[in-house]
């Protein structure tokens, strides 16, 4: 549908994967001085993705939320973009790593209060907590289709762009606040139980254990590789 409309088109097989493992490509693609129309999911989720990749200036980026846009408005917006563009028509298919589902959390710092509850909860080390900020540092460590950290975030500041049930966790900017607060209350009670602080402390200890085990496993693998490649002394 998009080919042949007179503007440059780039098809990205997985925008989440691109912004995580090919950040330089994302920066080059979305830091153009020309206006760019992005057809993806929620604009908020896409903006957070681009910022995670290092795209600082998003003033000339415009968004269409494909899951919620009707064909009439979609066609009209694309036609407007084509009429305003003087660029030559071209098509580029940009692929990402198909072996990784690129499921990972993003943090909306306009909402985040840096409580660190997400970092304390996650036993896989996806987050790193500093004195005044939380970062997503190991996206590939996140377990596919697990949004638990977002479900217990007291500020609804964690977004999973691939969360299919929509709402605040998917990056929607408008939602039923009352329903969201009730959802948060129930999720926190179910996931963390009655003693939230004890549960978080136990998960922190579990994370340290996993990190220690991973470090030990890596050390043993490096030792075995070294022994395999090192010639043995032969005594005659």
The CATH number of residue 217's host domain is 3.30.70
For residues 47-61, give the mean pLDDT: 91
Cα–Cα distance between 148 and 150 in angstroms, integer?
5
Predicted confidence (pLDDT) at residue 57 exceeds the cutoff of 70: yes
Selection from 22-36, 65-79, 80-94, 111-125 with the highest mean pLDDT? 111-125
The pLDDT tens digits for 165-193 are: 888 999 998 888 888 889 888 888 888 88
- Give yes or no: residues 131 and 74 share one domain: no
Full-prediction pTM beyond 0.85? no
Quick one: pLDDT at residue 64?
Answer: 86
Q: How many CA atoms, within 13 angstroms, populate the side-chain half-sphere of residue 103?
A: 15
Contact 70, 45 (CB under 8 A): no
- Give yes or no: residues 66 and 117 share one domain: no
Which residues are bridge partners to 94 per DSSP? Answer: 12
- Give yes or no: residues 135 and 194 share one domain: yes
- Give yes or no: residues 88 and 120 share one domain: no
Quick one: pLDDT at residue 2?
Answer: 47
Quick one: pLDDT at residue 105?
Answer: 97
In a domain, 231, yes or no: no
Phi, psi (degrees; rounded to nearest 5) at 92: -130, 130
**The pair of three-digit structure tokens given for residue 206, joined into one six-digit string:** 């579990």
Predicted confidence (pLDDT) at residue 141 exceeds the cutoff of 80: yes
The pLDDT tens digits for 19-28 are: 999 899 899 8
Domain boundary among the residues 59, 94, 129 is at 94
Domain that holds residue 151: 106-221
- What band does 196 get if pLDDT is binned at 50, 70 and 90? confident
In a domain, 120, yes or no: yes
Percentage, residues of the chain above pLDDT 70: 75
- What band does 146 get if pLDDT is binned at 50, 70 and 90? very high
Quick one: pLDDT at residue 91?
Answer: 47
Quick one: pLDDT at residue 206?
Answer: 78
In a domain, 165, yes or no: yes
- Give yes or no: residues 115 and 144 share one domain: yes
- Give yes or no: residues 31 and 63 share one domain: yes
Q: How many separate domains does the chain show? A: 2
- Give yes or no: residues 198 and 114 share one domain: yes
- Give yes or no: residues 181 and 115 share one domain: yes
Mean pLDDT of the residues in the chain: 81
């Amino acid at each position: 549908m998009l080919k042949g409309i007179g503007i440059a088109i780039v098809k990205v097989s997985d925008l989440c994967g691109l912004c995580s493992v090919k950040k330089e490509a994302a920066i080059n693609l979305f830091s153009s001085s020309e206006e760019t129309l992005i057809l993806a999911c929620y604009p908020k989720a896409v903006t957070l993705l681009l910022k995670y990749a290092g795209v600082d200036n998003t003033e000339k980026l415009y968004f269409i939320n494909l899951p919620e846009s009707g064909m009439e408005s979609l066609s009209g917006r694309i036609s407007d973009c084509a009429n305003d563009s003087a660029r030559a028509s071209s098509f580029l298919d940009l692929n990402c790593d198909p072996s990784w589902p690129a499921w990972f959390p993003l943090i909306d710092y306009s909402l985040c209060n840096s409580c660190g509850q997400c970092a304390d909860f996650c036993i896989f080390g996806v987050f790193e907590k500093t004195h005044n900020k939380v970062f997503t540092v190991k996206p590939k460590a996140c377990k596919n289709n697990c949004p638990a950290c977002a479900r217990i975030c007291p500020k609804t500041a964690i977004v999973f762009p691939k969360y299919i049930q929509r709402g605040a966790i998917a990056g929607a900017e408008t939602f039923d606040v009352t329903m969201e607060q009730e959802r948060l209350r129930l999720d926190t009670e179910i996931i963390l139980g009655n003693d939230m602080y004890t549960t978080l402390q136990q998960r922190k200890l579990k994370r340290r254990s996993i990190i220690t085990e991973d470090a030990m496993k890596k050390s043993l693998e490096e030792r075995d590789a070294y022994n395999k490649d090192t010639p043995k002394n032969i005594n005659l």
